[in-house]
Chain A
Amino acid sequence: MFETNEAMTLDVRVIPPREKHPTIFRTFDRLPEGGSFVLVNDHDPFPLRYQFEAERPGGFTWDYLEQGPTVWRVRIGRS
């Protein structure tokens, strides 16, 4: 009925604020090595990138696919 996603999409706009980052990291940790998902948010998630650099140093990739003004999309990969 609806097209199959080729990329996994994690849309965090619907998640209560205090659950957002734990959900993102939990989903990231369940990825296979080399896997990725597209994070969708309603603002630039750059503070999250700092948290990744602190907590998963060298273990992730970060590529902006769309940068606002309404929606931000970032491909986060597990390297």
Chain B
Amino acid sequence: MILSLSSAAAPDLELREIAAVCSHRGLGGLELVPGTAHGVGPHWSPSRVRSALDAAAAEGGAAVRIVALEVERPAEAAQLAPLAGALHLALLLPADRWEPGELVARARAAADDGAHVVLFRSFSSAAVSDTASLLAEIGHARVHAGWEVDPASAPLDFAERLLDPAAPPPAYLRLRGGGPEAAAQTGMGVGELIGRLTLARFAGPLVLTPSSPTFHVAWSAWLGRRGGWGCGSKADRELVGLSPALSPASVQ
């Protein structure tokens, strides 16, 4: 399991900066999503990405890898596939937003171009069977299933359903509401999920992402970022102060 961070948790940081934050926090992977300031796109060469990650590792003390690039528009899949293939990262295709025919064609083409592709969507029982059908139709060894899980709204037995032997094995997981928000959660199945992933020898990324922009300040503090909170953040700090998760040493 590669515990990772989504760039949504620090949407204003460039690649080197957010990778350094991950390194400081002991997180091994970084997911890059659209609409954040990481800047990585088709115009980036693999060596430019590696250079930024090397600089971040030198600053933070531990290596960080990019585990995935999320694709927003269908045409971008082909543009990003060579970079994804060269860096051995996953290309996340939004399976619940693209038309199925387009999804199948884009996934197959990107995989043929050397990328590992993840058909990515919110987890539900209906989505499992739909994804299984799509994977069977695509029939490519480099195309996988990936899920976003929100423990606050998922069924209590979501861990069992997600790792059901009859379901496509998950290659990639994004967990909403982890990190500093975890302290506020009360037995919503995250522990059961992690335990089952361990016993299943899950080797993919488990990506932490905020459940809402409301928690931006909490995430900033959890990631050890300093200053720049601006006007109106006093109330947020007080909210954050209720959470014992801010200090890793205080969490048992």
Contact = CB atoms under 8 A, between A and B. Distances in A.
Those 9 A-B pairs whose CB atoms lie nearest each other, nearest first? A19-B191, A23-B191, A70-B26, A42-B248, A71-B26, A1-B116, A16-B185, A10-B198, A27-B195
Contacts of A43: 248-249, 251
Nearest to A10: B198
Nearest to A23: B191
Interface of B: 1-3, 24-26, 61-62, 67, 88, 90, 116, 142, 144, 171, 175, 178-179, 182-188, 190-192, 194-195, 198-199, 201-206, 208, 244-245, 248-249, 251-252
Interface in A7-38: 8-23, 26-27, 30, 37
Interface of A: 1-5, 8-23, 26-27, 30, 37, 40, 42-43, 47, 70-71
A1 B208 CA distance: 19
B244 A17 contact: yes
A40 B31 CA distance: 20
Is chain B's binding surface mostly helix, strand, loop or mixed?
Answer: mixed
Contact of B171 (A2, A3, A22): A2
A73 B87 CA distance: 27
Given A1-B144, A16-B191, A47 B252 contact: yes
Contacts of A15: 182, 190-191, 194
Contact of A27 (B178, B186, B199, B206): B199
